[in-house]
Structure 1
Amino acid sequence: MFTLEQIKEAHSQVKSGADFPAYVRKIKTLGVTYYETYVSDGHTDYYGTDGYKITSLPKYDVLNIAERAKDIQFKKDLKAHQEGKTDYFMFCDDASKSGIEKWTVCAEEMTCTYYDKAANKILVEKIP
């Protein structure tokens, strides 16, 4: 099974949102089937086959997640990040202000889904 070190190595190649698709393809080859990243502190739960799960440490101090989702603003911030205009922390900070609690990535379906605090799907994107 995969390790946090292997995931960290794959993630070290990510400089902006533009690098995200290659990252997901890489960790999929490691055996990651699904993961959830929590905007509040940047920790991620990674899942593999047969119930395998590992959790990363928080990446930054706790961010407060807005109570109400601001989907239009979030989509603008996401687009800017995907175009390489913001770094990871800035994107997470923007997401917290837009009420995004977490995102999930399904490596099998190559989708990324963003959720608010009430677990409503705010956006589902196909990963190229």
Structure 2
Amino acid sequence: MSLDYKEIERVVEAESNAGEFAQVMQGLKRLGVQRYDYFVAEGVYHYYDEKSFVELKMNGVPKEVADRSDIAALKSAVKTAQSGAIDFERFCELAGKAGVPFWTSNLVTKEVTYFDNQHHVLHLEPIPGV
């Protein structure tokens, strides 16, 4: 079984604000997604199952990534997103300003890992409700 990019698009596009992240993760898990990476500067996703991956643009909008990481700014952006006060595009903009070039959402370990420009873990956040 391989990943169905149309079904992935349908699940992601159903999100109206970043506070619905857990529901999106549940939907992706049902489709067999084990993890995905989101690349802020490119505005693209890589979705992975056990054997393959697909690259999708969907709601991704390329955002500038700061050279220096700011963990406090990232934590603030995550908290604001979790409250549902911002949409995904705004979250990506804030993550880029906080110096996050990409993050990995792992549906198996139920964690989102945000990386800095040297590919070191900047912040680890549990995925609630998955």
What pairs with 1:3-22 in structure 2 (closer than 5 Å)?
A: 3-22=4-23
SS in 1 for 2:54: strand
TM-score in terms of structure 2 length: 0.91
TM-score in terms of structure 1 length: 0.92
CA distance in structure 2 between the partners assigned to 1:9 and 1:33 by the alignment: 17
One-letter amino acid of the counterpart of residue 27, structure 1 = L
- Deviation above 3 Å: which 4+ runs of structure 1? none
Partner of 1:109: 109
SS in 2 for 1:100: coil
One-letter amino acid of the counterpart of residue 25, structure 1 = Q
Partner of 2:54: 54
Q: CA RMSD in A?
A: 1.3
SS in 2 for 1:80: helix
CA distance in structure 2 between the partners assigned to 1:36 and 1:85 by the alignment: 23
What pairs with 1:38-77 in structure 2 (closer than 5 Å)?
A: 38-50=39-51, 52-57=52-57, 59-60=60-61, 62-77=62-77
Partner of 1:89: 89
Structure 1: unaligned runs, 5 residues or longer: none
Structure 2: unaligned runs, 5 residues or longer: none
One-letter amino acid of the counterpart of residue 92, structure 2 = C
Instruction: Give the number of aligned pairs.
Output: 126
Q: Is the 8 A contact 1:10 1:26 kept in 2?
A: yes
CA distance in structure 2 between the partners assigned to 1:14 and 1:64 by the alignment: 23
Q: Is the 8 A contact 2:43 2:63 kept in 1?
A: no
| Percent of aligned pairs sharing the same letter | 25
Q: Is the 8 A contact 1:13 1:19 kept in 2?
A: no
